[in-house]
Amino acid sequence: MQTRTLGTPAARGLQVSALGLGCMGMSQSFGPRPPREEMITFLRAAVDRGVTFFDTAEVYGPFHNEELVGEALQPVRDDVVIATKFGFALDEDGTQTGVTSRPERIRAAVDGSLRRLRTDAIDLLYQHRVDPDVPIEEVAGTVKELIEAGKVHHFGLSEAGVETFRRAHAVQPVTALQSEYSLFWREPEEAILPALEELGIGFVPFSPLGRGFLTGHVTADTEFGEGDVRASLPRFEREALKANLALVDLIKTVAERKQATVGQVALAWLLAQRPWIVPIPGTRRLERLDENLAAADLKLSPQDLAELDAASSSVQVHGDRYPEAMQRMIDR
């Protein structure tokens, strides 16, 4: 597996596999939770295949995902990079009640994550969502103290706008920003990517396959079962889905020419955008993991990339990324 660096060498850049693994779906959002032992075996198989970058969060499950990742990766802890997140308010039974990044909450979240992940330090700690009630300078200062204490190695932000990550970076260097980016959602190209390049901050696209949309396996007749978050997402409503599938049809043309899958072409396109972009596609199936990892070796020509850019630009995506309440949590 090729490697990439998030952040600049001057800020002790973080070296990771060119493709990471998003672990959320092992605990929530995509139907019934798979058996724990099955997922432990799967995570260790990912390590055997060269994946060194694993993404989790305290709110996934909640708590279950960190516990799973911690147990699975404990035997190879020195060989992998674990990213986790704080920033959601949780009540006693783990129900999400909003966002919070008060300093005392950050410290408590980190202590809990360290315990569940069975580690002495978190490699990359993201603020999961920006808290409008806590200045980002205060958040960055708190994480800086945790870095100085040895509990955290690198600071990241998720779904933060340019002004926010500039202000944070001035207090504590930001190693990576995590936000959605794919052929299905190209908003970061306008302002976020240029600012990240200027500041030397890496970019970690989540949902690089559009929550399965860019795999070629979602059709106009696909039914999303109980517990599948896509059933509530505007982009996957029946009429929107039918319209959006025009993009997949255009990507298939390139995929057939390259003797690759639609998903591999979508991931290869992302990797070709910047050398400091590290997508984290999520999966729970070994055959899908192998398919995704093969995208790192798929070379797209300038003609291929131009054709994909034109295809993406020609299709207007129907439907918002999230329902309205979740949409309001995105900082731009």
pLDDT in tens, 132-160: 999 999 999 999 999 999 999 999 999 99
Q: Which region among 21-30, 276-285, 317-326 has the lowest average model confidence (pLDDT)?
A: 317-326
Contacts of 317 (CB under 8 A, 6+ apart): 184, 185, 235, 244, 247
Q: What is the pLDDT of residue 326?
A: 86
Q: What are phi and psi of 125, to 5 degrees?
A: -110, 115
pLDDT in tens, 58-70: 999 999 999 999 9
Q: What is the pLDDT of residue 203?
A: 98
Contacts of 253 (CB under 8 A, 6+ apart): 307, 311
For the chain, the average pLDDT equals 96
Report whether 193 contacts 203 (CB < 8 A): yes
pLDDT over 90 at 9, yes or no: no
pLDDT over 90 at 222, yes or no: yes
pLDDT category at 324 given cuts 50, 70, 90 is confident
pLDDT over 80 at 17, yes or no: yes
Boundaries of every domain in the chain = 3-210+273-296
What fold, for 3-210+273-296? TIM Barrel (3.20.20)
Q: What is the pLDDT of residue 97?
A: 84
Q: What is the pLDDT of residue 155?
A: 98
Quick one: which of 205, 305, 207, 292 has its CA closest to 254? Answer: 305
pLDDT over 90 at 114, yes or no: yes
Report whether 221 contacts 248 (CB < 8 A): no
Q: What is the share, in percent, of the chain residues with pLDDT greater than 90?
A: 92
Q: What is the pLDDT of residue 323?
A: 85
Q: What is the pLDDT of residue 211?
A: 95
DSSP letter at 184 equals T
pLDDT category at 107 given cuts 50, 70, 90 is very high
Q: Determine the Cα–Cα distance for residues 72 and 42; give it in Å rounded to an integer.
A: 9
Q: What is the share, in percent, of the chain residues with pLDDT greater than 70?
A: 99
Amino acid at 324: E
Q: What is the pLDDT of residue 59?
A: 97
188 burial via Cβ count (<10 Å: 0-12, 13-18, 19+)? buried
pLDDT over 80 at 42, yes or no: yes
Q: What is the pLDDT of residue 92?
A: 76
**Among all residues, which ones are annotated catalytic?**
60
Q: Determine the Cα–Cα distance for residues 205 and 129; give it in Å rounded to an integer.
A: 15
pLDDT category at 329 given cuts 50, 70, 90 is confident
pLDDT over 80 at 226, yes or no: yes
